[in-house]
Each structure stands twice: as C-alpha cells, then as structure tokens.
Amino acid sequence: MEGLAIAFVTCDKYEFIWDRWYEGFSKYWKVDLPVYFCGEEKECPWDFTQIPHESVPVELWTTKLRNQVKQIPEEDIFLLMDDLIIQKDISFEFEYFYKYFLRVGADSFRIMGRDSASKSDVVKKILGGTINKLRPTSSYLISYSPVIIRKDFLLECLQWDESPWDNELKGSIRIRPLMKDIYSFHIDGWYKNAVIKGHEVS
C-alpha cells in the first residue's frame, strides 16, 4: 500500500497504556505499513519510526501533531490513538476501504467501532454493512477515531492550536464550507476505548 502510513498518536503521560495498546496491535494488525510514533519526549519502545516532540499541554495537542504530520512523507495517513485498543483483525476490510478511499477521491474514511451520531447517507452496501457519506451539516466532520485521511486534509484540520476535543467540535464548524468528502463504516467492537477521563478501564 504505497503512499499510506500509520501515525500512532500519544503523549508521555499516556505511557501507562502503551503496552496494552501494542499487545492488541501486534496480535491483530496484519497490514504491512510504515508506522510513525507521534509521541513526545519518551523513547518509543517498539520498532516504529519516532517523530519526537517536546511535551505540550493538552491545549496545544493540535500543534504537536501538526508538526509531526508535516514530517511524514506518505500522502495518506491511518490515524490511531493511544487509548483505542484493537480487538479484531480487520485486514480484509481495511484493504478494501483504502482502495475505495482512493477510487472515490475521499478526504477521510473512518472505521468506527460503534454507531455514529453523525448525519450521513448510505452510498454502498458491502461487507455486511454500509459505507456512509457524512452530510456537510453533520457534527464531527473532524474525528480522531481510527481514520484513513489525506495528509493535506489532516493538516487543514490541525491548523488551529487547541485540544483534540475542541478541534473536533470547533474545527468541524470551520471546515464545513469546504465541502469535504468524508466517509465511514461501522465494524462493531473492532477496537475498545481503554481510557476514560484519563483513567485506564478494563
């Protein structure tokens, strides 16, 4: 899959979840892609390409990630957050989705682990589910759930200095006039949120 890379997004204070995240990733992730460790000052414990950054407060989360994404040479990025633990092998689906992403010229393609509240329309029935396209009026046009995203679109989303939550909410309003092509597919339970309000959950 030339032109696509994984960005694992984390920060030093979430080091407590790294081993658990990697256990799920190494067990279930079977698609061969370059992986970039977008953390802060602590060393990456695995054989990923590290893009270090000075530690920042959460209000500058987008600033850190923006600086790191600029250093990734691939044109498309699969964004994986540190608190989402992979629970299933979705290799077949993922490869299909990336081909679809390229074919339709999508800006982003989310692979959701649960139903979304976003306003969308069904564009294709496939793999036991539906590919949906978000409406421009939907909330959360920006989402940091697992997402295949064009690097230049991701940089557009990250151009403001703010927390990830503010960026998803306020940024979605800002990008609405741009009429981006944002798709999603739901695979129940393929990942699990392992951190709630900063605390690890089983």
Give the pLDDT confidence of 115-156 residue by residue, as tens digits. 776 789 999 999 999 999 999 888 889 999 999 999 999 999
CATH number reported for the structural domain that contains residue 169 in this entry? 3.90.550.10
Give the confidence band of 193 by pLDDT, cuts at 50, 70, 90.
confident
Q: Give the pLDDT confidence score for residue 177 in this predicted structure.
A: 84
Under 8 Å between Cβ of 152 and 66: no
The DSSP secondary-structure symbol of 143 reads -
Residue 197, pLDDT above cutoff 60: no
Under 8 Å between Cβ of 39 and 10: yes
Domain count, the chain: 1
Give the confidence band of 196 by pLDDT, cuts at 50, 70, 90.
low
SS3 76: strand
Element (H, E) at 18: helix 18-28
Does a structural domain hold residue 197? Answer: no
Cβ partners under 8 Å of residue 181, min gap 6? 104, 105, 106, 107, 108, 133
Q: How far apart are CA 106 and CA 148, in angstroms?
A: 9
- Which residue did the predictor score with more confidence, 197 or 117? 117
Residue 201, pLDDT above cutoff 70: no
Does a structural domain hold residue 198? Answer: no
Does a structural domain hold residue 136? Answer: yes
Q: Which one-letter amino acid corresponds to residue 90?
A: I
Percentage of residues in the chain having pLDDT higher than 90: 83
Residue 199, pLDDT above cutoff 60: no
166 lies in which domain range? 4-190
Give the confidence band of 64 by pLDDT, cuts at 50, 70, 90.
very high
Does a structural domain hold residue 14? Answer: yes
What value does the mean pLDDT take over residues 186-194?
A: 92
Does a structural domain hold residue 199? Answer: no
Does a structural domain hold residue 196? Answer: no
Per-residue pLDDT tens digits for 42-60 = 999 999 999 999 999 999 9
Under 8 Å between Cβ of 24 and 85: yes
Instruction: Check: pTM over 0.85? Answer yes or no.
Output: yes
